[in-house]
Amino acid sequence: MPTEVIFPKVDMDMATGQISRWFYKEGDVIKKGEPLFEMETDKAAMEIDAPASGTLRNVTGVEGTDIAVGAPVAWIYAEGEAVDDAIASPDTAKPQVVGPDPDVELDARPADAGAVQALTETPPATTDAASCKPCADPEGERNGVRATPLARRIARERGIDLSSLRGRGPHGRIQREDVEEAKRAAPVSPKAPEAFMQSEAAPASVPSSSAAPTPARSTSTPNASPLHLVRLREGEGTPIVLVHGFGSESASWRPLLAELGEGGGPILGVDLAGHGGSLDAPAQGFDDLVAGVEEALVAEGISGCHLVGHSLGGAVAVAVASGIAVDVRSLLLVSPAGFGPDIDTGFVEGFAAARQEAPVRSWLRHLVADPASLSDGFVRATARARADGRHAEAQTKLAGALFSNGTQHFEVRSLLPHLAMPVALIAGADDRVVPIRHFAGLPGTIALHVFARTGHLPQIERRTEVARLLRRHVR
């Protein structure tokens, strides 16, 4: 039997959506997991992968028209299967109900009463605008240009400056129609500054063919950015980019990578300024951290990615996703900072200064609910990286610019309502660094996963569950 391709439901309130572009045409051969088409809703644009391998037939989903959730848009035939033209009629197929992902086992154990109460309290007030230059003004330079991912991509292709357009979407968001209208009114500029190198994994540069998309590097000097990027897993398709937390580095993601296994798309890690391989990169504050990640991804030729950030890296990831330098297809936040005014600066200052294994071990245990979840190898590797004192010196200076007296000097919570991509957040009910109450009252479009008896490192304490959630989220 051929495999039916249905128009999926990606939002609780979603009834219809549109296919903005097909990556393959009638009669093309496609492999399971390859991007098949791009769909656009009122909130986001995202790639939908092929559910099976075979030949694409009976394509009924028309680009730019409203399609009901669950309606068939095409069929995929295995080799040798006879094509049945009758099934191309949408009246002959029943819409399918999209339910929970059977591959995801959520933590069914009840959270502590205090954690439940924290999530029902009034959301925390954001930090004073005077202490948060990049985030104080929601209409400022970084997030002032509101645009759908599809609009950003078309603008990059044609060298159109989004800041010169007026969006007619909700809250002034620039949509595809706004960019298309500007495109018709202006000639193509082949060397426009916004025309970044497109990754072959990005739909904009993938013609209808049977060839699988593969990531490409920029033709400019590789790693022109001062930040260090490392390829943690090879693969094809849109990359996943991991951004670590304060005092950490890309290697800290390896326990989670072991759960993700081989296969799938490429995974990259970026070391923040003053950390890991980017130890000597300058950073005076939060703005510099964000700009560094943006520059590093552009220098690597990454025009689109799935972004994952932990703690401080989560706040940086939100700021990057709200900008226009990189097309962030999805955003997964793990115990992110920047969602409330307070933080455990005792940990921040103590870990920043730690050099020897004993204090490093003590502070790492402060991050988890179960110390047994930290392997001796992980602790020793962390201590070895800090033994020469260079990290302690750089991170102590940076800590003073980011945090002091139990407060955070930046906030990103106000950026959330303006994000167009799917966003999910993972937190531990027993986090002693970032209080769980920070995540009360999030926009209803954000999926919140709280794990009981888990601290600030869900990606280590709940690595199996986090890996499953990550796979589902990017899918």
Does residue 394 lie within any of the structural domains? Answer: yes
Separation in Å, CA 287 to CA 233, 268, 339, 343, 402? 29, 22, 16, 19, 10
Q: For the chain, how far is it from start to end, CA to CA, in angstroms? A: 24
Q: What is the mean pLDDT of residues 208-213?
A: 32
Shared domain check, 222 and 86: no
pLDDT number for residue 47: 76
Shared domain check, 323 and 266: yes
Shared domain check, 340 and 441: yes
Q: Is the distance from CB of 73 to CB of 61 less than 8 angstroms?
A: yes
Residue from 303, 144, 179 nearest 238 by CA: 303
* The pair of three-digit structure tokens given for residue 153, joined into one six-digit string: 């991509």
Q: What is the mean pLDDT of residues 429-433?
A: 96
Does residue 201 lie within any of the structural domains? Answer: no
Shared domain check, 419 and 314: yes
* The pair of three-digit structure tokens given for residue 231, joined into one six-digit string: 């390829």
Residue 465 has pLDDT above 90, yes or no: yes
> Among 7-21, 33-47, 196-210, whose mean pLDDT is lowest?
196-210
pLDDT number for residue 44: 61
Torsion-angle region of 146 (φ positive above 0: left; ψ -120 to 50: alpha; else: beta): beta
Q: Give dist(CA 26, CA 65) in Å, integer.
A: 18
Average pLDDT across the chain, whole number: 79
pLDDT number for residue 101: 39
Q: Is the distance from CB of 352 to CB of 377 less than 8 angstroms?
A: no
Q: What is the mean pLDDT of residues 323-332?
A: 90
Residue with the larger pLDDT of the pair 410 and 14? 410
397-414 pLDDT per residue, tens: 999 999 999 999 999 999
Shared domain check, 308 and 238: yes
Residue 33 has pLDDT above 90, yes or no: no
Q: Give dist(CA 351, CA 392) in Å, integer.
A: 8
Q: What angle separates helix 149-158 from helix 176-185, to the nearest 10 degrees?
A: 20
pLDDT number for residue 355: 92
Most confident of 1-10, 164-173, 310-319: 310-319
Shared domain check, 26 and 125: no
Does residue 259 lie within any of the structural domains? Answer: yes
pLDDT band of residue 221 (cuts 50, 70, 90) is very low
Does residue 138 lie within any of the structural domains? Answer: no
Other C-beta atoms lying within 10 Å of the C-beta of residue 185: 8
pLDDT band of residue 136 (cuts 50, 70, 90) is very low
pLDDT number for residue 172: 67
Does residue 262 lie within any of the structural domains? Answer: yes
Q: Give dist(CA 286, CA 307) in Å, integer.
A: 18
Q: What is the mean pLDDT of residues 30-59?
A: 82
Residue with the larger pLDDT of the pair 89 and 273? 273
Separation in Å, CA 161 to CA 151, 166, 175, 194, 195? 11, 11, 14, 7, 10
337-355 pLDDT per residue, tens: 999 999 999 999 999 999 9
Residue from 419, 411, 449 nearest 149 by CA: 419
Question: Long-range contact list for 171-174, CB < 8 A, 24+ apart?
Answer: 171/146, 171/418, 172/146, 173/146, 173/147, 173/148, 173/420, 174/145, 174/146, 174/147, 174/148
E strand or H helix that includes residue 314: helix 312-322
> What is the β-pairing status of strands 45-49 and 29-30?
unpaired
Q: Give dist(CA 459, CA 245) in Å, integer.
A: 12
Q: Could you give the number of structural domains in the chain?
A: 2
Shared domain check, 379 and 233: yes
Q: Give dist(CA 93, CA 114) in Å, integer.
A: 48
Shared domain check, 86 and 217: no
Residue from 84, 18, 27, 77 nearest 51 by CA: 77
Residue 174 has pLDDT above 50, yes or no: yes
pLDDT number for residue 184: 73
pLDDT number for residue 43: 57
Percent of the chain exceeding pLDDT 70 equals 73
pLDDT number for residue 209: 31
Tokens 């800090």 belong to 386
Residue with the larger pLDDT of the pair 109 and 140? 109
pLDDT band of residue 188 (cuts 50, 70, 90) is very low
Q: What is the DSSP string of 429-471?
A: TT-SSS-GGGGTT--TTSEEEEETT--S-HHHHTHHHHHHHHH
Q: Give dist(CA 348, CA 344) in Å, integer.
A: 7
Q: Give dist(CA 377, CA 397) in Å, integer.
A: 28
Shared domain check, 463 and 423: yes
Q: What is the mean pLDDT of residues 50-58?
A: 90
Q: What is the mean pLDDT of residues 309-322?
A: 96
CATH of the domain at 314: 3.40.50.1820
Domain interval for residue 329:
114-131+210-474
User: Rounded to the nearest 5°, which phi and psi values hold at 290?
Assistant: -65, -50
> Among 127-141, 195-209, 280-294, 461-475, whose mean pLDDT is lowest?
195-209
Shared domain check, 118 and 81: no
CATH of the domain at 67: 2.40.50.100
Does residue 105 lie within any of the structural domains? Answer: no
Q: What is the mean pLDDT of residues 164-190?
A: 69
Does residue 10 lie within any of the structural domains? Answer: yes
pLDDT number for residue 186: 62
Residue 437 has pLDDT above 80, yes or no: yes
pLDDT number for residue 456: 97
Most confident of 4-18, 198-212, 257-271, 329-343: 329-343
Residue with the larger pLDDT of the pair 183 and 349? 349
Tokens 């393959």 belong to 24
Q: Give dist(CA 449, CA 412) in Å, integer.
A: 19
Q: What angle do CA 390, 392, 397 make, to 5 degrees?
A: 105
Shared domain check, 126 and 24: no
253-264 pLDDT per residue, tens: 999 999 998 778
Q: Is the distance from CB of 200 to CB of 302 less than 8 angstroms?
A: no
Other C-beta atoms lying within 10 Å of the C-beta of residue 190: 8
pLDDT band of residue 243 (cuts 50, 70, 90) is very high
Does residue 193 lie within any of the structural domains? Answer: no
Q: What is the DSSP string of 219-250?
A: SS-TT-SSSEEEEEE--SSSPEEEE--TT--G
pLDDT band of residue 325 (cuts 50, 70, 90) is confident
75-101 pLDDT per residue, tens: 999 888 887 665 554 443 333 333 333
How many residues comprise the chain?
475
Tokens 């492999």 belong to 31
pLDDT number for residue 130: 37
Residue 394 has pLDDT above 70, yes or no: yes
101-117 pLDDT per residue, tens: 333 434 445 555 566 56
Shared domain check, 387 and 240: yes
